[in-house]
């Protein structure tokens, strides 16, 4: 795969099997009705009631299945429409449709990756870098995301943030994986402690080993989260030319300028302005619409 082309990596096929099953049920119901009409003797009242009840049940199940199927296929079809817009070169429409999918279904690495590709093709390099970064948080070992992120930074003319070996190790697992690992380790720890109280002292060696392993895992997870804590405030400049001002006001004097794709740290908010800090120690106030937090749950971002 040529990452220089920023390919459309992921597609989702609409789920049609449920609809086909409903159509099959309806065909069977119609066949049964035709068979009843062709019968020589009219059905007795009890038989008619039984068949009418069966037909009502089939109709109810069909209506429920159609409703459920429409809801189940909506996210896939919405993603397909966005992919179709991307493939046709209508990148602005694809960007909006991918954002609608994220708004409706929440963040996922494939949708963020495709959104970043569309932003890149549309020349929005800051937004592309932001969404590649968000996708990489959810899929830290995806080589296509990493390659396209490097390419977007090169196109925007911004360097990648310098990371120490400890920070790289802490990023080896995504936040969801760390959270699940810590939760499981905590549950195992509580179980081992509870079970150990009912065992004789001579049989507690195995539970003690389990407790030690669980404690080590919890310590590693806590350390990884502590190292990654500053990431909650990491943001990407999404606008082309952004002035960092000396005060949170649009009429305040400009302290320095920022360009799309640069990485900053958001420290605090005042009204519609955010105080950002650069890696070299400079700080200034920027409009909140000009940057996007990588962890969007912390605040609204691009």
**Is 37 a member of any domain?**
yes
Q: 111 or 30: which carries more pLDDT confidence?
A: 111
Please tell me the distance from the alpha carbon of residue 85 to that of residue 254, in angstroms, as a whole number. 39
Residue linked to tokens 């943001």:
235
Q: 115 or 192: which carries more pLDDT confidence?
A: 115
Q: 269 or 174: which carries more pLDDT confidence?
A: 269
**Residue 118 and residue 63 in one domain:** yes
**Residue 79 and residue 15 in one domain:** yes
Tell me, rounded to whole angstroms, the distance of Cα 66 from its chain centroid.
Answer: 27
Summarize the confidence of residues 219-247 as an average pLDDT.
85
**Residue 17 and residue 135 in one domain:** yes
Q: pLDDT grade, residue 209 (50/70/90)?
A: confident
pLDDT recorded at residue 302: 39
Summarize the confidence of residues 105-119 as an average pLDDT.
90
Q: Does the CA dihedral 202-203-206-212 come out positive or negative?
A: negative
**Residue 7 and residue 152 in one domain:** yes
Q: 165 or 111: which carries more pLDDT confidence?
A: 111
From the list 89, 91, 124, the residue with the least C-alpha distance to 260 is 124
**Residue 104 and residue 80 in one domain:** yes
From the list 174, 162, 127, the residue with the least C-alpha distance to 302 is 127
**Residue 42 and residue 184 in one domain:** no
**Residue 34 and residue 120 in one domain:** yes
pLDDT recorded at residue 71: 45
Extract the tokens encoding 184: 């499981």
**Is 161 a member of any domain?**
no
**Is 163 a member of any domain?**
no
pLDDT recorded at residue 194: 79
Q: What mean pLDDT value characterizes the chain?
A: 77
What lies within 8 Å, CB to CB, of 171 at 6+ separation is 140, 163, 228
Which one of 186, 201, 230 terminates a domain?
A: 230
Q: Percent of the chain having pLDDT more than 70?
A: 73
**Residue 76 and residue 177 in one domain:** no
**Residue 219 and residue 242 in one domain:** no
**Residue 20 and residue 145 in one domain:** yes
From the list 263, 261, 289, 286, the residue with the least C-alpha distance to 275 is 286
**Is 164 a member of any domain?**
no
Domain holding 18: CATH number? Answer: 1.25.40.10
**Residue 148 and residue 195 in one domain:** no
pLDDT-wise least confident of 1-10, 52-61, 157-166, 175-184: 1-10
Q: 63 or 250: which carries more pLDDT confidence?
A: 250
From the list 93, 95, 163, the residue with the least C-alpha distance to 126 is 95
Domain holding 263: CATH number? Answer: 2.30.30.40
pLDDT in tens, 237-288: 998 889 999 999 989 999 999 999 999 999 889 989 999 998 888 999 999 9
**Residue 27 and residue 111 in one domain:** yes
Q: 187 or 201: which carries more pLDDT confidence?
A: 187
Residue linked to tokens 């009890």:
46
Q: 150 or 3: which carries more pLDDT confidence?
A: 150
Please give the residue range of the domain that contains residue 181: 169-230
pLDDT recorded at residue 37: 67
Which one of 156, 179, 205 terminates a domain?
A: 156
**Is 94 a member of any domain?**
yes
**Is 208 a member of any domain?**
yes
pLDDT in tens, 86-97: 988 899 999 999
Q: Is the pLDDT of residue 77 over 60?
A: yes
**Is 285 a member of any domain?**
yes
Which one of 186, 206, 230 terminates a domain?
A: 230
Record the pTM.
Answer: 0.65
pLDDT in tens, 3-25: 445 554 443 333 334 445 555 56
Number of separate domains in the chain: 3
**Is 162 a member of any domain?**
no
Q: pLDDT grade, residue 185 (50/70/90)?
A: confident
Summarize the confidence of residues 231-238 as an average pLDDT.
87
């Amino acid at each position: 795969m040529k990452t220089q082309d920023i390919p459309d990596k992921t597609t989702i096929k609409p789920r049609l099997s449920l609809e086909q099953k409903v159509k099959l049920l309806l065909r069977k119901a119609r066949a049964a009705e035709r068979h009843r009409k062709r019968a020589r003797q009219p059905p007795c009242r009890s038989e008619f009631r039984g068949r009418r009840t069966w037909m009502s049940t089939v109709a109810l199940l069909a209506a429920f299945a159609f409703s459920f199927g429409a809801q189940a296929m909506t996210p896939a079809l919405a993603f397909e429409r966005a992919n179709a817009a991307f493939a046709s070169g209508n990148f602005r429409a694809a960007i909006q449709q991918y954002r609608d999918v994220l708004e409706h279904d929440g963040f996922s690495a494939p949708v963020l990756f495709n959104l970043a590709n569309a932003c890149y093709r549309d020349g929005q390099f800051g937004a592309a870098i932001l969404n590649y970064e968000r996708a990489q948080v959810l899929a830290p070992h995806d080589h296509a995301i990493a390659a396209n992120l490097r390419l977007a930074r090169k196109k925007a003319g911004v360097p990648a943030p310098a990371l120490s070996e400890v920070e790289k190790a802490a990023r080896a697992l995504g936040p969801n994986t760390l959270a699940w690992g810590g939760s499981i380790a905590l549950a195992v720890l509580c179980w081992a402690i509870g079970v150990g109280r009912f065992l004789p002292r001579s049989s507690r060696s195995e539970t003690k080993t389990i407790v030690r392993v669980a404690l080590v895992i919890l310590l590693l997870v806590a350390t990884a989260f502590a190292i990654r804590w500053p990431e909650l405030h990491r943001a990407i400049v999404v606008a082309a030319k952004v002035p960092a001002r000396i005060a949170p006001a649009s009429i305040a004097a400009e302290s320095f300028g920022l360009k799309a794709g640069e990485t900053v740290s958001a420290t605090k908010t005042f009204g519609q302005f955010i105080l950002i800090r650069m890696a070299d120690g400079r700080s200034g106030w920027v409009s909140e619409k000009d940057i996007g937090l990588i962890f969007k749950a912390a605040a609204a971002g691009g």
